[in-house]
Amino acid sequence: MSACVPDFLLSDPDWVVIEAGEHEPNPKRKVGLLISPSEVSATVTFDSSCIYDIGNADADDWNKVIGLGFVGSKDQSLDGVPPHQVDGARVGWRWNKQRNCIDLGAYIYVEGQRIDFKVAEAKINTPTRMVIKIDYDRKVYQVLGGKTVPFTHDKSFAYNTGLYFGGNQPAPHRIRVKIED
């Protein structure tokens, strides 16, 4: 069962942990509702627990760290697809063993179609400012200052998405990420 616990009840609220074999933290963390957000941002630090090897088949899968999903259109399907996989933008991350760093990327859904690409890199134990901008006038997302991606929706209600490991592979061991608002 998933639950949300207010950060002030935790001893170290900025560190978010995914246990081995899981995709998400339990309880869920760093989530909430948003109305017409112009940006979602955080300072993120990946520690050495974010170094992993899940084999070549899934090495290019993106994990997710911050983002948002939009809800509330009259034509939004209720077929079980999460709203952030219909219209939303997230920062993706993955360990790059060739470059010995974390790849950072845009991980965006527009009308249920995924668009993803690498934008930047982060070093282990180095705080990195992450920003997702939403421009309603131009109808574009911009993740980490990378190229803009147009969206088509007119939605204003959204929710924060938190730390997630996968693709289809769960966390191979305990993963810790510091997410400071």
Return the CATH number at 67: 2.60.120
Give the closest residue to 64 by CA, choosing from 142, 133, 167, 172. 167
What total number of domains does the chain contain?
A: 1
Cβ atoms of 67 and 54 closer than 8 Å: no
17 is a domain residue: no
92 is a domain residue: yes
7 is a domain residue: no
Other C-beta atoms closer than 10 Å to the C-beta of 151 total 23
51 is a domain residue: yes
This prediction has a pTM of: 0.90
CB burial class (10 A; 0-12, 13-18, 19+) of residue 138? exposed
| Domain, as residue range, for 120 | 31-174
pLDDT at 167: 85
26 is a domain residue: no
Other C-beta atoms closer than 10 Å to the C-beta of 4 total 12
The 10s digit of each residue's pLDDT in 71-118 is: 976 566 667 778 898 899 999 999 999 999 999 999 999 999 999 999
pLDDT at 10: 55
180 is a domain residue: no
Quick check: 1 pLDDT over 70? no
The 10s digit of each residue's pLDDT in 26-63 is: 887 778 899 999 999 999 999 999 999 998 888 899 99
179 is a domain residue: no
161 is a domain residue: yes
Q: Which two tokens stand for residue 149?
A: 């991606």
